[in-house]
């Protein structure tokens, strides 16, 4: 068995195979495209009951933290227990004392743009928030006839935020493939995923910010040790990376990435490496290019936001949201973060909540899942979109 082609436990390969596309062209929508949904509106208890029927007692209690949201994209935590989350049509929202604050923290206006996959996407809270009140966001905007993306630094005061500084602009954007994940690494730097807006050759051009993972200081300046002098580019050859996560023990960076129609990827990110799009995918190899650590083969995950679990029942597991796969993806890697000879993937909550955009781990070990069923590609249930909380069972 090829070690990069994941074995799945709990649910058969056929389950995800049913979601795969057939014979797409390079310009046709990839794994994040509309398909007939199978989402239902089951109660929170049903997920745990189904796990028990399969002989796998879920070590988490499931509740809905918030409902009726407008395409939530990312969630992060403030030191005082409040949470912030983005809604793709352009609002930054707050959760305080377990309730969504009615008024947005910030509502974006023109030249903000939310066409297709664009809009208000990534979010990260500064690790020194208590002293500087900084929050970072990634959003799409219009400049003439072009859709671009940029990274902003916001200043949060109470329940309101203002734009403090544009850190990075002119990131190629479009109706599709805007990337948008924004994370602060163990080194204190901002890491940013960008898409190639359906122009595959862009991913191989070092002079263009699209189809890359970028790295900048939190003031917008370029780190001296970036692989390309005076460039934010950290790695290249990406199609539309949607997730970033660092191994809690090794500090190694990983990314999730959408394949063209399948061959979705989990990549180990090294500074200056080229991940091959559009020249290689799956197990294909090319000199000077890095193949994925593991991939979905002919199945479709459409993996999005992800995190390593640092504590609790699933400690050290890598958890990712699945969009077209409509599931939570639980990867098990070696102790050093590599892929074993027979790496495994447990597919959880298949079609339970529909499309899952992101998953975050809170300071109290609770996992927070953001659904993405009102993005034009899902089958929204009455309460969608939602933030689902998985709290470790006593």
Report the C-alpha gap between 117 and 149 in whole angstroms. Answer: 12
Burial 91-113 (b: 16+ CB within 10 A, else e): bbbbbeeeebeeebbbebeeebb
HSE of 320, CA atoms in CB hemisphere, 13 A:
31
Helix (H) or strand (E) run with residue 146 in it: strand 146-157
Written as one string, the DSSP assignment of 219-254 is TSPPPTTSSSTT--EEEE--SBEEEEEE-TTT--EE
Report the C-alpha gap between 190 and 354 in whole angstroms. Answer: 30
DSSP secondary structure letter of residue 212: E
Do 371 and 357 touch, CB atoms closer than 8 A? yes
Q: Is 238 a catalytic residue?
A: no
Torsion of CA 337, 338, 339, 345, to 10 degrees: 20
Of 139, 177, 238, 295, which is the active-site residue? 177
Written as one string, the DSSP assignment of 295-347 is E-TTS---EEEEEE--SSTTTT-EEEEETTTTEEEEEE--TTS---SS-EEEE
DSSP secondary structure letter of residue 222: P
Report the C-alpha gap between 168 and 155 in whole angstroms. Answer: 16
Active site residues: 177
């Amino acid at each position: 068995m090829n070690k990069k082609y994941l074995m799945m436990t709990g649910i058969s390969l056929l389950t995800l195979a049913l979601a795969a596309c057939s014979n797409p062209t390079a310009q046709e929508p990839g794994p994040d495209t509309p398909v007939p949904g199978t989402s239902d509106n089951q109660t929170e208890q049903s997920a745990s009951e189904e796990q028990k029927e399969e002989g796998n007692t879920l070590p988490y209690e499931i509740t809905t933290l918030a409902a009726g949201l407008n395409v939530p994209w990312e969630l992060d935590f403030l030191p005082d227990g409040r949470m912030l989350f983005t809604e793709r049509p352009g609002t930054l929202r707050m959760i305080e004392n377990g309730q969504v604050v009615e008024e947005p923290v910030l509502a974006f206006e023109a030249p903000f743009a939310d066409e297709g996959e664009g809009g208000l996407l990534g979010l990260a809270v500064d690790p020194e928030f208590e002293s500087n009140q900084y929050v970072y966001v990634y959003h799409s905007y219009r400049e003439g006839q072009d859709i671009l993306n940029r990274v902003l630094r916001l200043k949060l005061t109470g329940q309101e935020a203002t734009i403090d500084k544009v850190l990075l602009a002119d990131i190629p954007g479009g109706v599709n493939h805007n990337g948008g994940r924004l994370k602060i690494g163990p080194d204190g730097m901002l890491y940013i995923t960008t898409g190639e807006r359906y122009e595959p050759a862009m991913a191989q051009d070092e002079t263009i910010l699209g189809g890359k993972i970028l790295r900048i200081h939190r003031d917008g300046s370029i780190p001296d040790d970036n692989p390309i002098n005076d460039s934010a580019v950290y790695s290249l050859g990406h199609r539309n990376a949607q997730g970033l996560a660092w191994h809690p023990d090794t500090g190694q960076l990983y990314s999730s990435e959408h394949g063209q129609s399948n061959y979705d990827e989990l990549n180990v990110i090294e500074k200056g490496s080229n991940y091959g799009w559009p020249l290689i995918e799956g197990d294909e190899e090319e000199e000077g290019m890095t193949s994925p650590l593991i991939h979905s083969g002919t199945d479709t995950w459409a993996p999005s936001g992800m995190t390593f679990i640092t504590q609790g029942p699933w400690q050290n597991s890598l958890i990712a949201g699945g969009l077209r796969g409509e599931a939570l993806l639980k990867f098990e890697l070696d102790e050093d973060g590599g892929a074993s000879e027979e790496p495994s993937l447990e597919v959880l909550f298949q079609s339970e909540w529909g499309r899952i955009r992101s998953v975050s781990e809170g300071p109290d070990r609770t996992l927070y899942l953001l659904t993405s069923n009102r993005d034009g590609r899902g089958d929204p249930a009455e309460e969608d979109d939602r933030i689902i909380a998985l709290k470790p069972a006593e």
